[in-house]
Amino acid sequence: MYGLYAIGFIAACVMALLLTPLVKKFAFLVGAVDAPNHRKVHTRIMPRLGGLAIFLAFVGAYFVVSPALDAVNSDAAFGLLIGGFVIVVTGALDDRFQLSPKWKLLGQLIAACIVVSFGLKIDLVNIPFGETNLPIGWLSIPITIIWIVGVSNAINLIDGLDGLSAGVSGIATTTILVLALMMGNVTVILLCVILLGSISGFMFFNFHPAKIFMGDSGALFLGFALATLSILGFKQAAVVSLLIPIMILGVPLSDTFFAMLRRYVNKLPISAPDKSHLHHCLLQMGFSHRTSVLIIYGIASVFGGCAVVCSVFISQDSTWGLIMIIVALFLVMLVGAEAIGIISKSRKPVLNFLQRLVGKQVQSDRLGK
Binding-site residues for Mg(2+), in ranges, read 156, 216
Helix-helix angle 164-183:289-315, to 10 degrees:
20
Rounded CA separation 58/73 (Å): 16
Rounded CA separation 148/140 (Å): 12
Rounded CA separation 156/94 (Å): 12
Backbone angles phi, psi at 82, to 5 degrees: -70, -45
Angstrom CA distances, 269 to 30, 240, 260, 261, 263, stand at 33, 31, 9, 11, 6
Indicate the DSSP class of residue 42.
-
Strands 124-126 and 133-135: antiparallel
* Complete DSSP assignment for 60-72: HHHHHHGGG-TT-
| Strands (E) located in 95-148 | 124-126, 133-135
Show binding-site residues.
156, 216
List b or e across 307-323, with b for residues whose CB sees 16 or more CB atoms inside 10 angstroms. Answer: beebbebbeeeeeeebb
Query: What's the angle, vertex CA 143, arms to CA 253 and CA 320, rounded to 5?
Result: 65
What is the H or E stretch that residue 244 is in? Answer: helix 243-248
